Amino acid sequence: MFLEPSFRGQRSGWIEVICGSMFSGKTEELIRRLKRAKFANQKVEIFKPKKDTRYDDTQVVSHDENSILSIPVEKSTEIYTHIKEIDVVGIDEAQFFDAELVEVCQRLAIKGKRVIIAGLDMDFRGLPFGPMPSLLAVAEYITKVHAICPHCGNLATHSYRLSEEEATVVLGEKDKYEPRCRVCYEMGNILNFSMR
């Protein structure tokens, strides 16, 4: 069971990062935290990259169809124009943002905002993804969530690409990706490599 960290005595804002593979519940956890903040009468705003239109243009939607209204932005610095009276800032799909997202989040925290970020920590090649490694380095709180590997039932930490596209960013769902444990991920890559 996940226990939220205690924030008593915090003098400024802070950064929380929720990371993991695809289908691990990152967005679900982000939405849960933001809804709890709203229930506590805190002013909340959530942002997502404009390019992520998989489920909806303006809603952040989890794989189990939980949703929350968001503001799609092209660049991370656009967030500044929407947060004047906001207590809590949510950011989904952080791996798709530019490198400036790290500075944006740190400035928001210094101004007293609670910043909650969700994103893939690794791309389909198993490499650190976009600004996520730097966000993990500066965060006060980190939650790594896991999916279940459909091949063996172990904890899945990797996003395995089912298609043969080689670009780093390929939007897709279960048609293009599945979560895999370290071993099944590696076995799939060895098979793919030998078939080329």
> Mind telling me the catalytic residues?
93
182 burial type by CB count under 10 A (0-12 exposed, 13-18 middle, 19+ buried):
middle
Cα 97 from Cα 100, distance rounded (Å): 8
d(CA 90, CA 118): 8
Please check whether residue 70 is in contact with residue 47, taking contact to mean a CB–CB distance below 8 angstroms. Answer: yes
Residue 90 structure tokens = 């949510």
Sequential DSSP letters for 46-80:
EEEETT--SS-SSEEE-TT--EEE-EEESSGGGGG
Tokens of 107: 């400035």
